[in-house]
Amino acid sequence: MDLVYWRNMRRTGVVFTGLVIGLASVFQLSAITVISHICLGAMCVTFPLRLYYKLLELLGWNAGAHPFQSYLDNDGSLTDKDTVMLVEEVVLLIAFAVTEFKRLLFIDSMIDSIKFVVLLYLLTYVGVQTNGLTLVITGEFFVRNWSQPLARENEAAVIVLFSIPLLYKKQQVRIRKVVRAVKAFVKKINSLCLSLYESVRPPPAPEPASKPAPVAAPAPKQKAKSK
């Protein structure tokens, strides 16, 4: 939220510019090329700076301070709690995979086992026709073709994400006034349409008069038979 609302201008500017440039680069180039060029650009900055500090240390003008010591001292290792949680998730995934494999192998469900057999049969053909390098090249081809249109859409989404919340925050009162005016206008149009419909609607037809129910004739009395 701090990045979206531009509370730290420098940090948000760096993140926003990096995202836009990265997505624009992915739109033109492959993801591997973009990552390689980003790493090379970072090395072009860090390596000369490290040599400069080393030269100062050799000349005695520097006490041997490392220019990136703060980044090296930053502890990115997992804590005991995080490690336990991660191990638990991995163990659960492995247990689920083993249970599912046993269920498919020992025919717990006929349909699922048939699907598994068909998949294994197709994988044998894939293994004969291709190897690992072919799969990597094919995956890179699909990633490159699919990442270019997605990069264009993601770039627009990033621009909207970093502009709409700030615009709403700055113009919140005006936007609310416009929204209330639009709601009142829509309500007025709705009432006008209802009144026009009521005026042009034909009156309902009169209900037919109900006929009196016919009176049933009295049943003839049977004469008593004389003995």
Q: List the structure tokens of 226.
A: 């004389």
Residues of the chain with pLDDT under 50: 223-227
How confident is the model over 184-227, as pLDDT tens digits?
888 888 888 888 877 776 666 666 655 555 555 555 555 444 44
What is the pLDDT at residue 93? 92
What is the pLDDT at residue 20? 79
What is the pLDDT at residue 224? 47
pTM of the predicted structure, to 2 decimals: 0.41
What is the pLDDT at residue 90? 92
* Burial class of residue 56, CB neighbours in 10 A (0-12, 13-18, 19+): middle
Question: Which residue in 85, 90, 112, 87 sits closest to 101, CA to CA?
Answer: 112
What is the pLDDT at residue 96? 92
What is the pLDDT at residue 92? 93
What letter represents residue 126's amino acid? V
Residues 6+ apart with CB under 8 A from 56: 62
Residues 6+ apart with CB under 8 A from 68: 46, 50
Length of the chain: 227
What is the pLDDT at residue 11? 83
What is the pLDDT at residue 72? 76
